[in-house]
Amino acid sequence: EVRHEAEAVNDALRDACLTFAASCNLTEAEQDTLFYLAKGFTINRIAEERVVSKNTVKSQITSIYRKAGVHSKQGLPDLLNDQ
């Protein structure tokens, strides 16, 4: 039962990220990075999960912030919560 709840939360988070990503015209790679960011992963962990460099992740995060009009780390979760 706990596993099902965790999956439901994960699915809801993924849906919110996809909705947000579509509204900001994020690339597929940026969508993946956004999902891991929303889960609270560090840049290093995102790079490991996605099998890309840390610089790639940093670039994608910068692009996500720019496209979303976000100027702080807290701004992104606030926008996601509004989805």
> Which tens digits make up the pLDDT trace of 42-55?
999 999 999 999 99
Contact partners, residue 52, CB within 8 Å, separation at least 6: 29
Residue 39 sits at φ, ψ, to 5 deg, of: -80, -5
**Tens-place pLDDT, residues 59-68:** 999 999 999 9
Give the pLDDT of residue 70: 85
Residue of higher predicted confidence among 6 and 55: 55
The mean pLDDT of 32-38, rounded to a whole number, is 93
Supply the pTM of this predicted model.
0.83
Average pLDDT over residues 8-24: 89
Q: Which three-class secondary structure state does DSSP give residue 57?
A: helix
